Each structure stands twice: as structure tokens, then as C-alpha cells.
Amino acid sequence: MRKLITGLALAGTLATGAVIAQTAGTDEDVAFAQAIWEEMVEMNLAGEGALMGLPYRGVPPHGEMLETFYVETEIMGESGLLVIKRNYGPEEVTEDEVLADPSGHLGSVTVMFQREEGYDPEHDDWFYAKYLPDGAMDTNPAGMALAGAVGRDLSGGCIACHITAGGEDYLFTTDAFPRRTPAME
């Protein structure tokens, strides 16, 4: 059962939860990220005809304009909170331009999915992924897929940034969600 939770934008294979390795971008991470993308398409939150929210001003590295959605869902047998952020550009893009041509301004889609306890307990069990507009995995300059515990070593990347969010939940957009909501249990 899925429950869409409105946020700012709207008025893996390791099902055992074993602790992950120090790196991201493994075949297992990519498979889990692809399952997330497929679920988002099924929910009309990604791909052709995706539901639109109201874009708002963004900050680097995500984009000039953003939309954020919060969904409780199940991915490969794991239930958790899925945070979807659509990242629009270029730098001068306006809300009206994004609303008039969302696919023309979409630069990427980034997600956080709170996996089962034990996935990455040091970082609240968040799984990160960055997709190109067509759903393909984005990669870093070294060619590593941006999926999994990206930046776990805190030298850069998703975790290194999100660890600084207030509220001890790794979310910059809201502190409204506890570690596990009652609907997820």
C-alpha cells in the first residue's frame, strides 16, 4: 500500500538489511535504484506525464528550481520513506517556465529512500540515487553510478552534505518525519 504525503511541491537487492560496504555504485545499488525509478514511474512521480507540483527556488547542487515529494512505499520488499526531488535549470529559469515545459527544464531527479534499519546505521539508513531525466543512472567523473551510500566517507557527495541538515533526519526540506512513521511499521 502506498501513501503519498504532500510536501513543499504539492499544496536492493540487499533485502536483509545487511550493513553496506564503504562504497556506492555497486551492481546491487544500481538494481535497487532502478527499482526505485520503476516505482516512481508507476506512481506517476517520474517519466512521461508525471504529476506536477509547484516549483520553488533551489540551491546548489540540486538546481535553480525544485519540486519535492514525500511518499511512503515499498521497494524490493523494504518499506520506507521515499523523498523525490526534481531538479530544474538552467540558472535563470523561472517557476512559470518550469510549469510550461517541465521536461525541457528537468536536469535530474535525486532521491533518498530510508531503507530498513541496519543498511547504513551511521547515516540513518538513507539510500541515495541521482537519475538523468530519462531515468538512466547519473555517474560521477570517475564513472561510478550515483546510487547507494554516496559520499559515505564524507569527502563529498550526498551524505557529506545531508549530514549537516538540521533535525537529525538528513532532510533539509522538513523535520516533519520521524525516523519511521507509524504507517511504515
CB 70 within 8 A of CB 82: yes
- pLDDT-based confidence at 79, cuts 50/70/90? very high
C-alpha cell at 5: 504525503
Ramachandran class of 113: left when φ > 0, alpha when ψ lies in -120 to 50, beta otherwise: beta
For the ranges 22-26, 91-95, 178-182, the maximum mean pLDDT occurs at 91-95
* Proportion of the chain above pLDDT 90, given as a percent: 48
Q: How many domains does the chain have?
A: 1
**Cβ neighbours of residue 147 under 8 Å, at least 6 residues apart?**
24, 25, 29, 30, 32, 33, 127, 128, 129, 130, 137
If you average pLDDT over every residue of the chain, what do you get? 79
- Structural domain boundaries enclosing 119: 3-184
77 or 176: which leads in pLDDT:
77
Q: How far is CA 88 from the centre of its chain?
A: 15
47: three-class secondary structure by DSSP: coil
**CATH number (domain holding residue 68):** 3.50.70
Q: Quick one: average pLDDT of 41-68?
A: 90
Per-residue model confidence (pLDDT) at position 130: 95
pLDDT digits (tens, 9 = 90+) for 161-174: 666 667 667 676 66
Instruction: Give dist(CA 37, CA 60) in Å, integer.
Output: 23
Instruction: Give dist(CA 146, CA 135) in Å, integer.
Output: 12
